[in-house]
Amino acid sequence: MILAQSILGIVIFITQLLKISLSKELMQTITLITICAGLVIILVTVGFAVFRRIYKRIQTQFEAHFRKWVAEEFTLLAKSPKHIVTIPLELKAALKNSIKRNIAVEELLVCKKYLKGVAMQAAVNLYEELDLRKVTNKKLKSGIWSRVVTGIQEIYIFDQYDAMEQLYRFADNSNPFIRAEAQFGVVNLQGFDALRFLKNVQNQLSTWDQINILEQLKLFTPKPLDEMPIWISSTNDSVVLLGLKILFEYPDGRFYTNMIACLDHSNPLIRYHAIRCCEKINVFDTNEKLENQYSNETIENQLLLLDVLMLLPEIPGAKLLVSLLKEPNELIRLKAAENIAKHYDKGLLLVESVEDNNKERKAQLIKHLQTEICL
């Protein structure tokens, strides 16, 4: 009613405008074109508003109807586990509409995300019985990356294991959002077994992608990482980094040699993570290897290396550590002194014996070692 009144008002307004123009003999082509263009814009805007209103109404009505049906089905299933879901003809007909199918998927996604047990499984069953996988498959084939990402999310949230191969293909997609979601999805579904995608990944995994994968793995029981040598010798630096991060979280002595080989890598970040892994996987001469590595490293790596030496059971050689007490970098001096004090019986005396022109600084260092290390 309001809409009809608005359109009528616009028409009357334009007619009046034309009358004025004609009466004053100012009716020119350009005026007419402007008025027509204005009318078209108004009609398009009104049409869009009407469409949105109708869409919203359909959406609200269907949402309420669908929620009621799902709630009833869940209750019937809870009351009688042998209950067979019957899809009303009305709902079947409604689901032929793509808007309504998408609404149904979104509603069931909420159930699957926030419920556990019987109700969660019921959400998955309804997704399958309503044949909503078709909606997901359509999204996976879309040319719009955001739709593909949504499709991938639906696959792993609804535990659609039969779509694993599709997800594996997406795991090395050129679009970073698609591949990140697919990598997360495969790990979400298959845990450690899903890491097999790493040997085929050509594109980079961002630090955030790596964190997400590591977090997902925490939800699964660890399994032997047989492909670790392939990952940490990959030409893709991000795969090597993720491999080393996984190795740090789930140490496996079988890969010690492969891990030590990473100390020769040209990427300092990879060397950083290899040094970090030495804390968890080490043998009798790891400290010696790290000491030899020291001079090839960046400051950040040197600091980490000194931290790792502190944690290793073997005593590091005094020669390197004593020489570091004369380093200009204060943190390096501190960490070297801590190593000496921790590993040597007369470490404190050794640190005191090294000359330092700044007496106050040296006194502070000794005090620190006495309170923090020697106690």
Partner 1 sequence: MNKVLIVEQEPILMAIVEKRLLAEGWETAACGDGKTARELIDSFQPDMLITNLLIPFYSGKEVIAYALEKLPKLFIIIVALFQQEDAKEEHLEMGVHTYYSKPFDLEELVAFIQVQKTSSSIH
Contact region with partner 1 (CB under 8 A), list: 60-68, 201-209, 217-225, 301-309: 60-68
Euclidean distance between CA atoms 181 and 148, whole angstroms: 9
Buried b (16+ CB within 10 A) or exposed e, 113-144: eeeeeebeebbbebbeebebbebbeebbeeee
Distances (CA, A) of 216 to 6, 10, 121, 201, 210: 55, 59, 21, 19, 10
Classify the C-alpha dihedral 135-136-141-142 as positive or negative: positive
Output 50 or 110, the one with its CB closest to partner 1: 110
Q: Which of 20, 43, 118, 349 binds partner 1 (CB under 8 A)?
A: 118
**Residues in 73-92 at the binding interface with partner 1, rule: CB under 8 A:** 74-75, 78-79
Judged by CB under 8 A, the number of residues near partner 1 is 21
Euclidean distance between CA atoms 123 and 154, whole angstroms: 12
Q: Which two tokens stand for residue 312?
A: 């290793």
Euclidean distance between CA atoms 152 and 170, whole angstroms: 9
Output 85 or 315, the one with its CB closest to partner 1: 85
The number of residues in the chain equals 375
Q: Which of 27, 46, 58, 67 binds partner 1 (CB under 8 A)?
A: 67
114 binds partner 1 (CB under 8 A): yes
Contact region with partner 1 (CB under 8 A), list: 65-73, 152-160, 255-263, 275-283: 65-73
* Residue 100: CB minimum distance to partner 1, A: 15
Output 22 or 99, the one with its CB closest to partner 1: 99
Output 158 or 197, the one with its CB closest to partner 1: 158
Contact region with partner 1 (CB under 8 A), list: 32-40, 48-56, 115-123, 174-182: 115-123
Could you give the angle at the alpha carbon of 63 between the alpha carbons of 61 and 67, nearest 5°?
Answer: 125
Cα 296 to chain centroid distance, Å, stands at: 33
**In terms of C-beta distances under 8 Å and separation of at least 24 residues, what long-range contacts does 37-46 make, across chains too?**
39/10, 39/14, 42/10, 46/3, 46/6, 46/7
x/- contact string, 238-277, with partner 1 (CB under 8 A)? ----------------------------------------
Contact region with partner 1 (CB under 8 A), list: 67-75, 177-185, 260-268, 364-372: 67-75
57 binds partner 1 (CB under 8 A): no
Q: Which of 19, 68, 169, 361 binds partner 1 (CB under 8 A)?
A: 68
**Residues in 93-112 at the binding interface with partner 1, rule: CB under 8 A:** 107, 110-111
Q: Which of 82, 96, 116, 319 binds partner 1 (CB under 8 A)?
A: 116
- The DSSP output letter for 198 is G
Interacting residue ranges for partner 1, rule: CB under 8 A: 63, 67-68, 70-72, 74-75, 78-79, 107, 110-111, 113-120
